[in-house]
Structure 1
Amino acid sequence: MAPVRNTRVLFNEYAEGYPIPGKTLVVDKSETIDLEGAPLKNGQVLVKTIAISVDPYQRGRMSEPGKTTSGDAYELGKPLVNYVVVKVIRSENPDFAPGQHVYGMGDFSEYQILTDLSTWKVLPETRGTPWSAYVGVLGMPGQTAFYGWKEAAHAKKGETIYISTAAGAVGSMVVQIAKADGLKVIASAGTESKLQFLRELGADVVFNYKTTNVEDVLKEHGPIDIYWDNAGGKSLDAALANLNTFGRVVKIGSISSYNSKPEPIYNTETILWKRIIIRGVLVFDHHEQYLDEFYATFPPKVAKGEIKYVEHVVRSLDETPQLVLDQQKGNNTGKAVIVLADE
C-alpha cells in the first residue's frame, strides 16, 4: 500500500488571550505514513484515530512554559495532545490486538505509532454507544464528575448544590449524579438552549450567568452546601458568600481566567469562619481508586439512556482550531469532540 496522508493539528504559537485558528493552532498535511510497511519496534502499535476530546483545560497548556495552569506547556511544532479513542491497525504489543479500540492520551493526528502504552486502556466492544462517548461522558469528563463526587463532594440527601457551567461535559454529569442522590440542584449556563438541556436533566433552578447576577440567585435559592466550580472568578466569590457552615467547594476548572486575567476573590474570610473545605480534583489522581467502578457503573447506564449527554461534533481535523476557539468562548453545545471515524 502506498503511503497515505496523515493530517495533524500542530501547536504553532503560544497563546495570549484566546487561541487563534491558523496562528496558535495550524493544520498540517505534509506528513505521510505507510500503514502496512511502517516499521514497528517491540511493544509498539500503529493506530487509527477514531475520536479526539477537546477540553477547556487545554488552554492552560497553550501558555509559555512557567505560565501554564494545567500541566506542562504544549511543545511548539508538535501535535496537540489530549484524550483519544483509537483503533489498533498493527501491533507488536501482546496486550493490544488489531481491531481493538483503545483509550488514552494521544496526538491530534489521523494515525500514530504508540510506544508507551502503560496508561492506555482497551475499551469494551459496545453496541449502541458511539466511541466518541468514551472521550466525553465515559471518558475524562465523566470520570472527573464521578471521582470528584466520590472524593470531595461528601453529599447528603436534601443538601443543595450549585454547579457552574453546568451544561458542559463535566457539569451535566454532576447534575445527574446530584439529582440521583437526592440533592437540590442550582445550575448555570450561558445560552437558552443550554438552560433547556439542564431542565431536561432535572435541575431545580437554572439561570443564565451572563444576564443574571449569580449572588442574587444563590441568595434566593440557597444557601448552598456544595459548589461545583468549573468557572472560578465571580462565581466562586458568590458561592463562598452563600455556602453553609462546613460547605464544600469541588474545584475542577477556572474557565473564567483561561483567556484573561483572573478575577479577584473577596470573600475568602468566609473560608475560615464557615470552615469551608476547598478541594481541587484532577482525574489522574484517582484512577486506581475509582476507574473500575466507573466502567462497571456508567457504560450500561449510558447505553440504556439513563445518563443523558450532548455532543458538539466536527468530523475533520481541519475544523479543530475553530472548535477549540468556540469551546473557549462557550459557543459549543455539549461535549466538544472530533470524530474522524465511526468504527
Structure 2
Amino acid sequence: MAPIQNARVLFGSIPETFPIPGETTLYDTSQTIDLETEPLNGGFLVKTLVLSLDPFLRMRMRDPSVKSYLPPFKIGAPLDGYGVGIVLRSETAGVQVGKYVYGLTILHQEYTVYPELGTLQIIEPHPGLSLTAYVTAAGMPGQTAYAAWKEYSDAKPGEVAFVTSGAGAVGTIVIQLAKQAGLKVIASAGSEEKVKFMQSIGADVAFNYKNTDTGAVLEKEGPIDMYDNVGGDIVDVAIEASAHKARILACGSIAGLNTGHAGVKNFHQIVRKALRVHGILILDLLPKYQADFYATIPPKLASGELKYTEDVSKGLSTVGDVFLAVLKGTKKAKAVVVVADE
C-alpha cells in the first residue's frame, strides 16, 4: 500500500493570552504513513476518530518551567488530549484490531502508533450512543460530574445547588444529578439559548450571567448549599451567598485561563461559614468510580433519562478555530471534532 497523508495539529508557540490558530496551533499535512508497513515495535496502530477540545488544554500551552499536574505541550510536537480511536493493527497483548481506545493521550493526528496502552483504555461503546458521546457526557466531563458528585456533594433533598456553566458538559450532568437527588437548582450560562437548555433539563432557576446580576439571583433564591464552579469573579459572589457548611466543588477555572486567575476576595468567609472546598481532578477520582460510571451513565444517556448536547465540527483542520471558540465561550455546547469515520 502506498503511503497516505497523516495530518496533525502541532503546537507552534506559547500564547500570551488566547491561542492563535495558525500560530499557536498549526495544521500540518507534510507527514505520510504506510498503514500496512509502519513498524509497530510491539505497539499498536490507531486511527483517530474523535477529539475532545477541553479548556484544560490551554493550561498545557505554557512554558516548560511552569509546573502543573499535566505536562506542557512541546513546541513542534502534536497536541494530545481526550479522544477516541480504533485499532487498525496490533502487536500488543490484549489490544485487538477493531477495538476502540479512549483516553487522555490521543494525539491530534490522523494515525498514531502507541507503544503501549499506558493511560489509554479499551472501551465498549453502548450501541445507543455515538462515539462523540465518549468524549462528552460518557467521557471525561461526565466522569468529572459523576465522580465529584458522588465523592463530595453530600447532597440532601431540599438543599439548593448553584451550577455555573450549567449548559457545559460537566454542568449539564451536575444539574440533572442534583434534580434527581431532590435539590433546588440555580444555574447560569452565557446565552439565552443555553438558558433555555438548562431549563429543559430541570434547572429551577436559570439565567444569563452576562445580563443578569448573579448576586441578586442568589440573594433571592439562596442561600446555596452546594456550588459547582468554573472560577472567575462569580466565586466571590457564591461564597457570599453560601449557607453554613456549604460545599464548593471546584472543577475548573476557565474564566482565568487566558487573562490570569484572580484571587478570592472574601476568603475569610470560608472560615466563618465553615465551607468545604474540594478541588476536583478526575484522574484522582476515576479509579474509584470508573466501573460504576460506565455501568450507570451511558445507559441513562442512551435511554434519554439523562440529556446532553454536543457542538460537533468536522476535520482535523478545524482544531485551532474550535479550541479558540471554546476559550471565548462561543460554542453552543461541548466542543467535539470528528476527525474521521470508521
- Give the TM-score, by structure 1 length: 0.97
- Matching residue's letter, 2:302: A
Please list, as runs of the form range in 1=range in 2, the aligned pairs for 1:1-343 lying within 5 A after superposition. 1-42=1-42, 44-67=43-66, 71-104=70-103, 105-230=105-230, 232-343=231-342
Shift of 1:11: 0.6
Structure 1: state its 5+ residue gaps: none
Shift of 1:328: 0.3
Distance 2:181 2:65 in 1: 41
Whether the aligned pair in 2 keeps the contact of 1:48 and 1:89 (CA below 8 Å) is yes
Runs of 4+ in 1 over 3 A off after TM superposition: 66-70
Is there any run of 5+ residues in structure 2 with no aligned partner, and where? none
Q: CA RMSD in A?
A: 1.2
Cα distance in structure 2, aligned partners of 1:118 and 1:72: 15
Retained in 1: the 8 A contact 2:44–2:116? no
- How far off its partner does 1:286 sit? 1.4
Q: Deviations over 1:53-106 (max 9, x none)?
A: 100111111122244666221111111110110000000012111111111121
Distance 2:270 2:125 in 1: 47
CA distance in 2, matches of 1:340, 1:138: 19
Contact 1:160 1:184 in 2 (8 A): yes
In 2, Cα distance between equivalents of 1:143 and 1:225: 22
Alpha-carbon separation, structure 2, partners of 1:323 and 1:127: 28
What's the secondary structure of 1:271's corresponding residue? helix
Amino acid at match of 1:221: E
Deviation at 1:119, TM superposition (A): 2.5
Contact 1:9 1:317 in 2 (8 A): yes
Per-residue displacement from partner, 1:254-300 (whole Å, max 9, x unpaired)?
11100102234221111111100111010111122100000000111
Question: Structure 1 residues 145 and 166 mapped into 2: Cα distance closer, same or farther (>3 Å)?
Answer: same
Shift of 1:160: 0.5
Distance 1:7 1:305 in 2: 36
User: How far apart are the structure 2 equivalents of 1:239 and 1:69?
Assistant: 26
| Letter paired with 2:223 | P
Q: How big is the shift at 1:125? A: 4.2
Q: TM-score, normalised by structure 2?
A: 0.97
Does structure 2 conserve the Cα–Cα contact (< 8 Å) formed by 1:61 and 1:70? no
**CA separation in 2, counterparts of 1:26 and 1:237?**
38
* Per-residue Cα deviation, 1:19-40 (whole angstroms, up to 9, x for no partner): 1111111101001111001011
Query: Whole-Å Cα distance in 2 between the matches of residues 140 and 333 of structure 1?
Result: 19
> Does the residue aligned with 2:304 lie in a helix, a strand or coil?
coil
Amino acid in structure 2 at the alignment position of 1:137:
A
Instruction: Report if aligned partners of 2:45, 2:112 keep a CA contact under 8 Å in 1.
Output: yes
**Cα distance in 1 for residues equivalent to 2:232 and 2:133:** 30
Task: Tell me how many residue pairs correspond in the alignment.
Answer: 341
Q: Counterparts of 2:169 and 2:122 in 1: how far apart (Å)?
A: 22
Over the matched positions of the two proteins, sequence identity in percent amounts to 43
Q: CA deviation at 1:325?
A: 0.3
Distance 2:69 2:286 in 1: 18
2: CA distance, partners of 1:57 / 1:166: 18
